[in-house]
Structure 1
Amino acid sequence: MEEGQGTAPQALYDAMDSYIGEQAAKGVFLDGGGLFGTEDTVNFISSGGEVSRVDGPYAEAKEVVGGWALMRYDTLEEAVAGQQEFAELHAKHWPEATVVATLRQVAEGPEETGA
């Protein structure tokens, strides 16, 4: 989502509570949560064998991760449909915000990531 959009409206929180409850009852929602902005963020960057620390806020940050959810679907089609439903909740209940809902698969071992 874009940084600095303010707090989501209560209607979105209510809709998300209902959606998450339904998904948890079906065994789809495993875990998730919202994240604060970058004002207190601390990044540790590993590069060239050295680690450096960079403290927020980050003026150059235009998009940040605002939250996360760990979901388990049986098929890719179900995952895509679930992600679209999640994005549509945001469009309906917080239309003035720009939210990017990204779907990624969780790797369960190095053989899946190519590591």
Structure 2
Amino acid sequence: MRYMVMHYQTQAMEDGVPPTPEEQAAIGEYMQEAAMSGVLLSGEGVASSRLGARVEVNEGAVRVIDGPFAEAKELIAGFAILEVDSLAEAVEHARKFALLVGAERVDVRKVVEFEDLQQS
């Protein structure tokens, strides 16, 4: 099963403060181990919202809002796609990663496969 793990910005991340060299090394080591084991299929961080935009649609009207956005803790900072056997295994990987990056919140969501749609 594939799961998407999303961690959220801290204000320091949104302000562009990079992880310390020690944090970068620990994160890199964890990501490399996860990739080598076949668990990590993909994973990336995303830039500060000041470099992005938001598209809102309301009753057919489209509004584009340039970043930055006010609430850093509501913004995705990065994601990973994991191939694991269960939600519990995905949660364990998310827990480890959250502790490494200092994330206050990490969401774990099952990726909906085409076969999942056929079971409805």
Give the match for residue 87 of structure 2: 76
Unaligned runs of 5+ in 1: 92-97
Runs of 4+ in 1 over 4 A off after TM superposition: none
Give the match for residue 67 of structure 1: 78
Q: Which is bigger in relative contact order (C-alpha 8 A, separation at least 6)? A: 2
Shift of 1:102: 1.8
Q: Percent identity?
A: 25
Question: TM-score, structure 2 length as denominator?
Answer: 0.76
Q: Is the 8 A contact 1:38 1:57 kept in 2?
A: yes
Once superposed, what is the RMSD of the aligned Cα atoms? Answer: 2.1
Unaligned runs of 5+ in 2: 1-8
Cα-to-partner distance string for 1:35-89 (whole Å, 9 max, x where unaligned): 111112111112212211111112x223121111111111122111111111222
Cα-to-partner distance string for 1:20-46 (whole Å, 9 max, x where unaligned): 111111111011111111112111112
Question: TM-score, structure 1 length as denominator?
Answer: 0.79
Indicate the structure with greater strand content: 2
Shift of 1:100: 1.9
Match of 1:99 among 96, 101, 104: 104
